[in-house]
Structure 1
Amino acid sequence: MTEQQQTPVTPRPAEPLDVAVPAPSPAPRRDRRALRAAVRWAAAVVVFAVAGAGTAYGITRMERTDVPGLATESDGRWDYPLLTKPPLPSGSPGPRAESNPAGAHHADLRALVLPAPRGAKENRTLRGARGWLPTDVFLAEIAEKEDRDEFRQRLVDWGLRHIAARGWTTEDGTRTRIYLLRFDTASVADDRFHRVLFPYAGPSHRVAGTENVVSDETFPEAATVAGVQRTVYDEAEPRGAEHDRQAYLVSGDVLAVVLQSRKGAAHAVPFRQTVVLQSQLLG
């Protein structure tokens, strides 16, 4: 796989991620100031379910002290930087446009990978050369050699173009790896990979270090991002030393793989937050 040369183009201005802010009801002036501050510092919508409750919440990424009525204690979310979608080349449609039947992401794939949260330590192994990751580094996530070989051949047969990736470890020991795989068309990413390799019951291959992986039925439907299909798995007990969570997303011609691992228990809130934010960058 080699990087194709592209004709220089004039980029469009960067597109900010949508921020869903409900219309405030009449309130005293000090509440309005707090709401304005919240909007000013918002970066992206994070939808998640509070552990042990069935209600899903949508809330913009901001300092908790900026949100009227919320306690200052951490709820487990990570502090991600301000997120904006990368610019498109002038005249190029987005992946969901009717004029783009192939579902192509014309933006730089490397700019579509979610950045690490503040305070996390980067995994430099996933940087690759000029931002492009060798296929074998990605395939090393798969436990069995036979499965790695099968996946590698599938990538060759169906025209993998590039892999962009990023990884980090947070202070609590949670390891996150995100891989974006770009193909020629949306039908290849969905029909030949997502639907075949990541069905509801469980992935077709075992990620290294995992044991019994099942569908994560606790992931809130309210966290769905338009234009992005999602399959999410959790590792059931009994587990090994680490707890692993997995998400596989497809948006247009890109298949995204999101993996999180932590000794003891991998917390649900930062995993859901990471999946939703990566989905928003792709959608």
Structure 2
Amino acid sequence: MTDHATAPQPGPEPHDQATAVTPVTPADDANPWAAITIDDPQPDAGQAPAPFAPPEPTQSPQEQAARRARRRRAAVRWSCAVLVFAIAGTGTALAVTAPERTDIPGLATANDGRYTFPPLTLPPLPSGKAAPDLKDNSKGLHQADLRYLLLPAPKEAGGSVNPPVFPSPTAPTATASAPASASAAPSDTAPATPGASASATAAPAASAAPGATAPANWVGCEAMGSELQNPARLHGLLLQNVCRAATVREWTASDGTSTRIRLLRFGSPNEARETYFRGRTDLQLKAAPDAKMASGDGWDTVAGIEVTRKDSQETAGKGVPTTRVAFVSASDVVAVVTMTNPRGVPATAFRQVVTLQCDLLA
């Protein structure tokens, strides 16, 4: 047997030219492609791949200027829109808050029968005189002009809504040619006779300042007797308790309600209180001869003020009385408030008038 030379076997191909083949395991028989991997170069672990950034298109100077102009115009438009909304909001707020709420449609309070009175102002006191202290009978005398303590007429009755202007509180001097009773108010030191007539009482002071609210008229203390069914009882009361002065104011409002307020001033709080207690039970008005004391909750009044209400038994529409009366006791002053209306006196208006008159006397 002759030995033959063995032909040289080809060497392994270089690594970069050969494909690494991973042996197929029995578990991967179903997917033969899963056994083949390619040695691709992997990026470093700490280095993120660079994002792809498309090249920005180049703009000409004209395009850049046009773009800036568009931005400026947009900014101006938005600024104008914000300014317009701000002006509109401010104008709306002023339109709502500047006028009175009752003058704005939709916000006005429905009329409940109350009247429109001017701001209440107390008249000036004479020099050296103090305001009344209703808690102390010895200091509870009203020193101000009684006519200016009457509630003024409301706007609904032709009254003014401007605050009253009072004259200087100086006592006029009586002259020899003119009697004191014709030029001055009833004096607190000289009691007036119960039967004094209105013609003998004083006229409004001539020294009133220009534009001053016209005062009410002085009347005789027994002038109220013409409204009573039993004027003799009033005469008896005035004989026992000396009435120093009396005044009256009356008006008829646009709703047809007639109001009359009388003030009677006495020499002492005790005399006035005696007249108040007896008058509220003994005196019967011609307009309401069957009036009885009103029931229900009492009104909140100022300390030292006492009120008694009486309602007529004659009613109109839903049981509203046609006459309402209030007797008020305020130290040395007695007030009688009478309101009548054939269609019924509104309870709100009656309470408003009585409460405001009490405030002036307090």
Q: Shorter-chain TM-score: which interval?
A: 0.5 to 0.7
The answer on whether the counterparts of 2:221 and 2:243 sit within 8 Å (CA) in structure 1 is no
- Residue 227 of structure 1 deviates from its aligned partner by 2.2
Residue of structure 1 in register with 2:238 after alignment: 155
Matches within 5 A, 1:131-150: 131-143=217-229, 147-150=230-233
1:71-86 superposed matches below 5 A: 71-86=108-123
Identity of aligned residues (%): 36
Q: Does 1:232 align with 2:309?
A: yes
1:219–1:212: structure 2 CA closer, same or farther, 3 Å change rule? farther
Residues 1-283 of structure 1 aligned to structure 2 (within 5 Å)? 65=102, 71-96=108-133, 101-120=138-157, 129-130=202-203, 131-143=217-229, 147-190=230-273, 192-198=274-280, 203-218=281-296, 220-222=298-300, 224-237=301-314, 243-283=322-362
SS for the counterpart of 1:173 is: coil
Identify unmatched segments of 5+ residues in structure 1: 1-29, 39-62
Distance in 1 (alpha carbons) for counterparts of 2:297 and 2:309 = 7
Preserved contact between residue 102 and residue 185 of structure 1 (Cα < 8 Å): no
1:196 positional shift: 2.3
**Alignment partners' CA distance in 1, 2:357 and 2:134:** 19
Q: Which has the larger radius of gyration?
A: 2
Structure with the bigger percentage of strand: 1
Q: Secondary structure at the match of 1:94?
A: coil
**Number of residue equivalences:** 214
Normalising by structure 2, we get a TM-score of 0.53
Greater relative contact order (Cα < 8 A, sep 6+): 1
Aligned CA distance change for structure 1 residues 220 and 76 (closer, same or farther; 3 Å): farther
> Which amino acid is 2:254 matched to?
E
Say which structure is richer in helix: 2
Distance 2:313 2:331 in 1: 31
What is the deviation of 1:99? Answer: 7.4
In structure 2, the partner of 1:41 is none
- CA deviation string 1:92-127 (max 9, x = no partner): 2222167761521001101101000013158xxx99
What is residue 81 of structure 2 aligned with on the other side? none
Q: Which sections of structure 2, spanning at least 5 residues, go unmatched?
A: 1-92, 160-197, 204-216
The root-mean-square deviation of aligned C-alpha atoms, in Å, is 3.2
Q: Cα offset for 1:279?
A: 0.2
Distance 2:290 2:137 in 1: 39
State the AA in 1 paired with 2:351: R
* Larger displacement relative to structure 2 (251-260 or 91-100): 91-100
Separation (CA, whole Å) in 1 of partners of 2:157 and 2:287: 22
